[in-house]
Structure 1
Amino acid sequence: MKRRSLLQAAAALPALALTPLSALSAAAGAVARRVRPGDAGWPSAAAWQQLQQRVEGRLLKLDAPFAACAASVDAPACGAALATLKNTFAIGDQPALTQTSGWLDAWSSQPSAYAVVARTTADVVAAVNFARDHHLRLVVKGGGHSYQGTSDAADSLLVWTRQMNDATLHDAFVAQGSSAAPQPAVTLGAGAMWIDAYDAVTTRGGRYVQGGGCTTVGVAGLVQSGGFSNFSKAYGTAAAGLLEAEVVTADGQVRIANAGSNPELFWALKGGGGGSVGVVTRLTLRTRELPEHFGAVFFSIKAASDQAYRALIAQMMAFYASTLFKPQWGEQIGFNTDNTMDVSMVFQGLNQQQAEAAWAPFLAWLRERPEYAFDKPFRALALPARQFWNVAFFKQHAPGFMVADERPGAPAHHGVWKGDAAEAGWFIHGYQSAWMPASLLAADGQAQLVDALFRSTRHWRVGLHFNKGLAGAPAADIAAARDTAMNPDVLDAFALAIIAGGDGARYPGMPEAKQDAAAQALRGRERAASIGRAMGELRKAAPKAGSYVSESDYFIKDWQRAFWGTNYERLARAKRQYDPHGLFFVRHGVGSEAWSEDGFTRKG
Structure 2
Amino acid sequence: MVGCASLLVASLYFVFATATPAASSTDDVQTAAATVVPIDNTTYFKYETVQLTDDCLSALDSSTAALFQFDDTDVTDISANLTRRTSSSCRIFPTDKSWPSDFIWNTLDWVLGNNALIKTVPLASPCYYGMYYNQAKCAALTSNWTNSYLHMTDPTSMMSPVYQGLTCEVTTDPTQNCTLGAFPFYAINVSNVAQIQLGINFARTMGLRLVIKNTGHDFSGKSGGAGALSIWTHNLKDVKYFPKYTSQGCGYDGPAFKLGAGVQAFEIYKEAHDRGLVVVCGEGQTVGVMGGYIQGGGHSPLSSIYGMAADHVLSLEVVTADGRFVTADFDQNTDLFWALRGGGGSTFGVVTSVTVKAYPDMAVTASTFSFTVGGNNGTITSDNFWTGVRNYMDYFPSLSAQGIYAYWFIINTSTGPMFLMQPFWAPGKSLADTNALLAPWFAQLNALNITFTPKTVHYDSFYPAWLASFPLEAVSKTHVATGSRLFPKENWSTTSKLDATFNAIKTSSQAGLTIIAFIIDPNLKNGGYPDNAVNPAWRNTYAHVLQSVNWAAGASAAVQLETRHNFTFGHMQRWRDVSPGAGSYLGESDILEPNFQQSFYGTSYPRLLSIKKALDPKNVFFAQTAVGSEDWQVVTANGLPSGNGKLCRI
Asked if Structure 1 and Structure 2 have the same fold, meaning a TM-score greater than 0.5 normalized by the shorter chain, the answer is yes
User: Is this contact kept in 1: 2:396–2:542, CA < 8 A?
Assistant: no
The code of the aligned residue for 2:532 comes to: T
Aligned to 1:49: 106
Matched, 1:98 2:98: no
Q: 1:58 aligns with which of 111, 116, 123?
A: 116
User: Is this contact kept in 1: 2:304–2:400, CA < 8 A?
Assistant: no
Structure 2: unaligned runs, 5 residues or longer: 1-82, 169-180, 375-379, 636-644
Aligned to 2:536: 488
* CA distance 1:555–1:281, shift in 2 (3 Å): same
* CA distance 1:450–1:100, shift in 2 (3 Å): closer
Q: Give the structure-1-normalised TM-score.
A: 0.80
Matched, 1:588 2:648: no
Cα distance in 2, alignment partners of residues 591 and 530 from structure 1: 25
User: Is this contact kept in 1: 2:364–2:465, CA < 8 A?
Assistant: no
Q: 2:609 aligns with which of 568, 572, 580?
A: 572
User: Is this contact kept in 1: 2:164–2:183, CA < 8 A?
Assistant: no
Q: Taking every aligned residue pair, what percent have the same amino acid on both sides?
A: 25
Aligned to 1:432: 483
**Cα shift readout 1:530-586 (whole Å, capped 9, x = no counterpart):** 686443433332133211111111111211111111111100111111111101111
Structure 1: unaligned runs, 5 residues or longer: 1-25, 395-400, 402-416, 504-514
Cα distance in 2, alignment partners of residues 278 and 315 from structure 1: 45
User: Is this contact kept in 1: 2:164–2:182, CA < 8 A?
Assistant: no
* CA distance 1:369–1:76, shift in 2 (3 Å): closer
Superposed counterparts of 1:529-544, under 5 Å: 529=566, 533-544=570-581
Superposed counterparts of 1:126-525, under 5 Å: 126-174=198-246, 180-202=251-273, 204-219=274-289, 220-300=291-371, 302=373, 304-321=380-397, 323-336=398-411, 338-344=416-422, 345-370=424-449, 372-374=450-452, 377-388=453-464, 417-420=470-473, 423-444=474-495, 445-459=497-511, 460-467=513-520, 469-470=521-522, 473-477=524-528, 479-480=529-530, 483-502=531-550, 517-518=554-555, 522=559
Cα distance in 2, alignment partners of residues 312 and 419 from structure 1: 27
Matched, 1:119 2:191: yes
Cα distance in 2, alignment partners of residues 520 and 589 from structure 1: 25
Cα distance in 2, alignment partners of residues 448 and 83 from structure 1: 42
Comparing 46-55 with 148-157, which one deviates more in the overlay? Answer: 46-55
SS at match of 1:192: coil
User: Is this contact kept in 2: 1:333–1:341, CA < 8 A?
Assistant: yes
Aligned to 1:89: 149
User: Is this contact kept in 2: 1:139–1:156, CA < 8 A?
Assistant: yes
- Larger RCO, structures 1/2 (Cα 8 Å, 6+ apart): 1
SS at match of 1:91: helix
For these two proteins, the number of residue pairs brought into alignment is 532
The code of the aligned residue for 1:368 comes to: A
User: Is this contact kept in 1: 2:488–2:541, CA < 8 A?
Assistant: yes
SS at match of 2:487: strand
The code of the aligned residue for 1:385 comes to: S
The code of the aligned residue for 1:424 comes to: V
Aligned to 1:509: none
Root mean square deviation, CA, Å: 3.1
SS at match of 2:241: strand
SS at match of 2:128: helix
**1:361: how far off?**
2.2
Comparing 519-528 with 139-148, which one deviates more in the overlay? Answer: 519-528
